[in-house]
Homo-oligomer: A and B are copies of this chain.
């Protein structure tokens, strides 16, 4: 399923981790690179090339918070991209849910949510 999702994201020129980071930024304006790393279990050091790639694509920008921290946010292009990505994700999720027989369907999300909360 994750491999299939990666293929759905490829036309958007995003890797799975890129989309995940961008969603996190979209939902947490001015979040820092270190905070993203803690949230997603990515080493601080490895955030550098990851964010550079997304920044070079013009999708995110940095805003100084204080002398040592910088907040991340989506550019206009980044916000437009995320609208498309969210639509892709919603479509993918809908397709998956549709595979589940009706009598089980309403139980799936609550069960998964309970599994790892």
Contacts and interface: CB of A to CB of B under 8 A. Distances in A.
A105 B99 CA distance: 19
Copies of this chain, how many? 2
Given A107-B108, A108-B108, A115 B101 contact: no
Nearest to A107: B107
Contact of A101 (B1, B41, B110): B110
Interface of A: 1, 3, 41, 96, 99-101, 103-105, 107-108, 110-112, 114-117
Given A96-B116, A100-B115, A105-B111, 11 more contacts: A99-B114, A99-B115, A99-B116, A99-B117, A100-B111, A101-B110, A101-B111, A104-B107, A104-B111, A107-B111, A108-B115
